[in-house]
Structure 1
């Protein structure tokens, strides 16, 4: 949260750990998984793993004060005719409150079939799941589509945030996206915040939430808990 500087959510990131301890990044293995069809069981595993992690955080003796865990949804998985039924089936297996789950869709996914996208989002929002439109500003960025999509959060792509303080056009785009989101009553998340100057400017234009290396780099779940606890102690 930009104003309180408290950690209110987490984003689930997948990494392929090799025997030597190094990692293969998603940009390398996700395209192969999509081309081979393995993305479907992988996507289901990612969702279930994230849900189990959220349950574990909430069931701790001192529950972790995390409101949401965000999960990126694959285009191929989202396009499945029974996507909504698959998600409901997963949720029925675990004692999780769906309000703690956020699905992130890119513009390219959301706008392939706008009517079908709206229907799927609305069905899952009925049970409490929230939705974010990811990487906003890099695709269609159509206000007509934005007006129709029943999303909750708009994520500003990190490419604009990265050069925002040195590039007047990126700065203007960022400010415009925040204004547009506010007009549509959407919460705004800035991606890739790495410098305090970026954070201060985002605060000045009333952006709501940020994520990025300024707060921390991606961490394993157990290290994430320690980081959240430490920050809470500092604020108290």
Structure 2
């Protein structure tokens, strides 16, 4: 084999090895950052409005609720029109710290029928699906609580009550806030692999060995 052919063969092997390393690293990155990938995929259904980050897709909200053991809170309003319950929710309830805490406790889903606004086709389809599933239609100013399977637990039509009473009705008793769901950060697969290897190879500490019982008889120590 000539030197030129040997060099080509070596270069081909190096390229294949480099591609294999890239593929393995990519697979490891996805494995250790799967939660981050799922969050970023679900972020396309998130929208910040009225100072709160809402979900706009029911199925995406249900997946988050199932993953973190939470409930889904659907809020149905008609902004831009003269509709008092919707206006009161927007101007009185949403800015309150209690409702912001509820938006952290539950997975908030907003269905906002905005007058005079041309929504995207995707958002319109998401809204139509939620309206159909829960038979909302003209019931603006409504807050609905559902489990991770989408099953309705209770619904409350807002009627100008204070926020604490409203949240008590939504919760079916006293509202108990939960901490916000933490966001996943990007992990380095090499560092994570090293940590996992150390945890597997580190010795497991067993129970402390008991010292043998020593009994003294006539000044003589025994191991009995």
Fold conserved between structures, TM > 0.5: no
The structure having more radius of gyration, on CA atoms, is 2
TM-score normalised according to structure 1 size: 0.27
